[in-house]
Amino acid sequence: MNKHLFVVAHPDDEVLGAGAFIFEATRRGDQVAVAVLNTCDTTRYEKDTSQILGDMMKSHAILSTPENKIKLFPFGYIDSNFNSADHRKMVQDIEGVIEDFRPDAIFTQHPGDINTDHYWTAASCMEAFHLWQRLRGYSRPIEALYLMEVQSSTDWALNPSEKRFCPNTFVEVSQEAVQAKVNALSVYENVIRPVPHPRSKEALMALPVLRGAQSGVPLAEAFECVFRKAADL
């Protein structure tokens, strides 16, 4: 059994980035936790935090099983104000989640995404990860750190000075898992958009086909591994 921690800016980011993987992971007995830094999204839910958390629980219920539920760590950082938030506190909050959950692997946003909230989430997560790895006496260090791609954010990164998402880790997923990902996203308001939007059902179903073709399997989700623990070869 492995333990996977997802550190994301907004509700639904972990589903967009790794929903099919999460579906497969919970069904093979792996534990999944999600730390969401913004659960008071004023642009979509008009400060109704209860609706946000309720939608997250419904979405996670589709991806998990009754016997293996996704663990949720919600925080109250304000949407679109991450650049003015207390960065030190954000790092400490993520460290606290790592201490509580003790993951084998961490997944977070790509810092080159067009959303600045994704950048600050990634920067804080990577700093927390780095500080955690330096702790002495921790007998079970984190095995790996991965960056995710979020459709309509990672693919819209327009700043040429920022490093682009470069997938180097591909995980095979099933058609059932991809459909579950789309169903889990459908719970949220205004996430699924009509064609040709990158978050249309057609686009969401097509990306795993592309990532599968790139890696020699029918369907896959892709990640960028930026750290992997040293191993004997």
Q: How is the chain split into domains, by residue range?
A: 3-228
Planar angle of CA 90, 155, 34, nearest 5 degrees:
35
What pLDDT is stored for residue 147 in this prediction? Answer: 98
Residue found under tokens 């990860």: 129
Question: For residue 91, is pLDDT > 70?
Answer: yes
Where is average pLDDT lowest: 157-166, 182-191, 218-227? 157-166
Per residue in 34-53, pLDDT (tens digit) is 999 988 765 655 556 678 88
Q: Which CATH number fits domain 3-228: 1.10.150.240, 1.10.10.10, 3.40.50.10320, 3.40.1000.10?
A: 3.40.50.10320
Beta carbons of 181 and 63 less than 8 angstroms apart: yes
Task: Give mean pLDDT, residues 134-156.
Answer: 82
H-helix segments, 115-158: 116-133
* 101 has pLDDT over 70: yes
Residue 216: burial class (beta carbons within 10 Å; 0-12, 13-18, 19+)? exposed
Give the pLDDT of residue 150: 95
**pLDDT of res. 149:** 97
- Whether 148 has a pLDDT exceeding 90, the answer reads yes
More confident residue, 93 or 160: 93
Distance CA 223, CA 107 (A): 9
pLDDT tens digits for range 205-227: 999 999 999 999 999 999 999 99
The partner residues of 147 in beta bridges, in order of sequence, read 108, 224
pLDDT of residue 190: 83
Question: What average pLDDT score do residues 9-32 get?
Answer: 96
Say yes or no to pLDDT of 137 above 50.
Answer: no
Element counts in the chain: helices (H) and strands (E): 7, 7
Q: Which of 149, 219, 151, 147 is nearest to 185 (CA)?
A: 151
Where b means 16+ CB within 10 Å and e means fewer, 130-168 reads eebeeeeeeeeebebbbbbbbbbbbeebeeeeeeebebe
* pLDDT tens profile 169-184: 999 999 999 999 999 9
Kind of pairing, strands 220-228 and 169-172? antiparallel
Banded model confidence at residue 121, pLDDT cuts 50, 70, 90: very high
